[in-house]
């Protein structure tokens, strides 16, 4: 693999608490291009702009337009990274991936399981995407890591759908399985402790350090065909700290894609 595709989805209509993630993609790009950083991932790959086929940012009128946009890019058969947006975007993105790849293995890093059958009357809320994904059998395996907000309802949902959850309180790197692939990584920034990534809508203490999530990403050996970075809320960021975390994650994910 020598190229990665990038798309930005300017969408936060399905956020239950605060708006803001729709403004994130241009700020992640700005941090990625900033003279404050170079383009090297830690494995030594240079993720320079010529490695990225950047389709730019999309404003979304209808929720399921996200599926159409994603599907139109998958025809290039190179890995696709999506900059969100709230976490509701992952369901239509996975629908597009399913049409190309069939059921994917999914590694989902988040403070929240996002398995609600419906949230505040909306089955497509950002609290629900993984219920829809499992219901539609878009995943052959779903492993969730970093979860620290499990409700009884979401525990039942996880059991019903056979979701494997590594809760934050039980976490160690060796518990994260190796996947066969093709693998999709869905990364909600609130998996990180708010001290490391304050620019998020739901500050849930007791999360990952930046180092810990880099270790999870660098430990992926399976072919990684898609990823999203969601829930960065620039309105809550402090000195661009979270934007810089996103740019770092973008480089590290791209490096895994190029070398898997």
Of 105 and 190, the one with the shorter C-beta distance to Mn ion is 190
- We find the least distance from the C-beta atom of residue 194 to Mn ion, in angstroms, to be 11
Of 10 and 229, the one with the shorter C-beta distance to Mn ion is 229
- We find the least distance from the C-beta atom of residue 93 to Mn ion, in angstroms, to be 13
Q: In what order do the strands lie in the sheet with 52-59?
A: 52-59, 4-10, 80-83, 224-230, 183-188, 104-109, 139-147, 164-167
Number of helices (H), then strands (E), belonging to the chain: the values are 7, 8
Residue 224 bridge partners (DSSP) = 183
Contacts of 159 (CB under 8 A, 6+ apart): none
Kindly list the residues in this chain that would bind Mn ion in the complex (CB under 5 A).
Answer: 87, 110-112, 114, 188, 190
- We find the least distance from the C-beta atom of residue 128 to Mn ion, in angstroms, to be 10
Q: Rounded to an integer, what distance in angstroms lies between the CA atom of residue 160 and that of residue 73?
A: 33
- The secondary element (H helix, E strand) that includes residue 104 is strand 104-109
Residue given tokens 């056979």 in the structure block = 162
- The secondary element (H helix, E strand) that includes residue 72 is helix 65-74
- We find the least distance from the C-beta atom of residue 91 to Mn ion, in angstroms, to be 11
Of 91 and 97, the one with the shorter C-beta distance to Mn ion is 91
Residues 105/222, Cβ–Cβ less than 8 Å: yes
Residue 54 bridge partners (DSSP) = 6
Residues 84/230, Cβ–Cβ less than 8 Å: yes
Of 105 and 114, the one with the shorter C-beta distance to Mn ion is 114
Of 51 and 112, the one with the shorter C-beta distance to Mn ion is 112
- We find the least distance from the C-beta atom of residue 205 to Mn ion, in angstroms, to be 13
- We find the least distance from the C-beta atom of residue 216 to Mn ion, in angstroms, to be 16
- DSSP-derived secondary structure letter, 122: B
Q: How many CB atoms lie within 10 A of CB 118?
A: 12
Tell me the C-alpha to C-alpha distance, in Å, between residue 111 and each of 11, 115, 188: 20, 12, 8
- We find the least distance from the C-beta atom of residue 145 to Mn ion, in angstroms, to be 12
Of 98 and 112, the one with the shorter C-beta distance to Mn ion is 112
Of 3 and 236, the one with the shorter C-beta distance to Mn ion is 236
């Amino acid at each position: 693999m020598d190229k990665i595709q990038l798309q930005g989805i300017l969408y936060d209509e399905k956020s239950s608490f605060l708006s803001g993630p729709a403004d994130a993609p241009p700020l992640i790009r700005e941090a990625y291009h900033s003279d404050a950083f170079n383009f090297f991932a830690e494995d030594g790959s240079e993720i320079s702009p010529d490695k990225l086929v950047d389709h730019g940012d999309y404003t979304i009128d209808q929720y399921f337009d996200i599926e159409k946009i994603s599907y139109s890019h998958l025809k290039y058969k190179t890995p696709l990274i999506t900059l969100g947006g709230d976490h509701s975007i992952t369901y239509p993105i996975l629908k597009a991936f399913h049409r190309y790849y069939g059921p994917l293995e999914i590694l989902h890093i988040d403070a929240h399981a996002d398995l609600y059958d419906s949230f505040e009357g909306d089955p497509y809320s950002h609290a629900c995407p993984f219920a829809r994904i499992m219901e539609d059998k878009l995943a052959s395996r779903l492993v969730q890591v970093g979860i620290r907000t499990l409700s009884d309802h979401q525990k039942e949902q996880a059991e019903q759908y056979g979701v494997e959850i590594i809760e934050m309180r039980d976490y160690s790197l060796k518990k994260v399985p190796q996947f066969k692939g093709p693998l999709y990584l869905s990364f909600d920034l609130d998996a990180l402790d708010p001290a490391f990534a304050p620019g998020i809508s739901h500050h849930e203490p007791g999360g990952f350090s930046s180092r810990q999530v880099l270790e999870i990403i660098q430990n992926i050996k399976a072919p990684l065909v898609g990823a999203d970075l969601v829930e960065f809320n620039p309105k809550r960021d402090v000195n661009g700290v979270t934007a810089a975390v996103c740019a770092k994650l973008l480089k590290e994910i791209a490096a895994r894609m190029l070398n898997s």
